[in-house]
Amino acid sequence: MRAFAPERLVAARKMELRDVEHVARLELESFTAPWSADTFTHLLDRPGCELWVLDDPEAGVVGYAVLWCILDQGELANIAVAASHRGQGHGAYLLQRVMEVARDRGVERLYLEVRVSNTSAADLYRSFGFTEVGRRKNYYDRPVEDAVMMVVKP
């Protein structure tokens, strides 16, 4: 796998309780049906759940990812980068880190869903080897839209 280096210095690290409010704001900025801060707080200690943030030395938390790992299967449940930091390699850097974590945990297949209209995210996933394996009709709301299901061997 190729190594991605973002244009600005950021560090990928495990999410901590002090990050939750920042992550919840990013979630609100990024998704039409956002998870609450309480959801992230409860996930911090949940077995099989990996929560990661991108920490910018000047801006603070500028991205995050949520990975579920159950036996040899994984799901990238959420990944987002602040609008101010998109297009700078941060999403690729975070995705690369999450895939390393999945591999280290013994995940053999990593799944995700992405909005049909989110072609930039789908293109990023394809660049990491994800392939489409199906569609979920009307999976998203606000607006109602299909999800593309993708999988990769991390």
Q: What is the pTM of this model?
A: 0.91
pLDDT over 70 at 6, yes or no: no
What is the span of the domain harbouring residue 80?
Answer: 11-110
Q: Could you tell me if residue 128 is inside a domain?
A: no
Hey, what's the torsion of the CAs at 69, 62, 29, 83, to 10 degrees?
-120
pLDDT over 80 at 3, yes or no: no
Q: Could you tell me if residue 124 is inside a domain?
A: no
**Digit-coded pLDDT (tens) for 110-138:** 999 999 999 999 999 999 999 999 999 99
- Number of domains, the chain: 1
pLDDT over 90 at 93, yes or no: yes
138 in Cβ contact with 102 (< 8 Å): no
Q: Could you tell me if residue 126 is inside a domain?
A: no
Q: Hey, which residues are catalytic here?
A: 113, 125
123: left (phi over 0), alpha (psi -120 to 50) or beta: alpha
Q: Could you tell me if residue 95 is inside a domain?
A: yes
- CATH code of the domain covering residue 59: 3.40.630.30
Share of the chain above pLDDT 70, in %: 95
